[in-house]
Amino acid sequence: MQHRIVIVILLAVAASSRIAAACDDDNRSQTMLSPGILLGIGGGDPQHHAGFLLGGELSVFRLSSESDCSNGAPSTSLGIPSATWVGGYLDGDYDFGNHSGRVTLGPEVGWELFGIDGGLAVQRGDNRTNVGLAVRPVITFGYVQLFARYEYFAGVGARGEVGALLKWPMSPPEPRHRRGA
């Protein structure tokens, strides 16, 4: 039952991503690259204690402001400029409590301070590899994102993580053009 809930949430994230992407028609949105450090606590495995998490993340996303995309609709943010983002992420972390490494990959979407990402999760530990799904809501405060992640691995069960991402959003480098081309 729990894995069905995760699948429904992931489908909702993917559908929201498509709706938010439709806002890019005026070319005033911006592509961003955001590497970061993941710090947290993970647990849920009854055979191991909760453990410290250390890892990294990379996001690539389109950032659009409300003024670019509102089509004249009244603001829902009380006059405060709002932003939406839609893209994808890849992260990896090591859990020092159960001595396992994890990689997750999937879409991400957000509005103002709130976002959600999720997708495929692969965990390696105890000489075996487990495949599952992950969902992670986030609250963004500039360079810091607070998160709570739920993961479900087939044959193993559910686990959770809470923590922070320290992010450095930047515009990707412009492609260089060859002379004479």
Domain boundaries in the chain? 2-67+82-167
Average pLDDT of every residue of the chain: 80
What's the pLDDT tens digit per position in 131-157?
Answer: 999 999 999 998 999 999 999 998 888
- Residue 33 CA from chain centroid, whole number: 13
pTM comes to 0.74
DSSP states of 108-152: EEEETTEEEEEEEEEEEETTEEEEEEEEEEEEEETTEEEEEEEEE
Class assignment of domain 2-67+82-167?
A: mainly beta
Q: What is the percentage of the chain residues whose pLDDT exceeds 90? A: 48
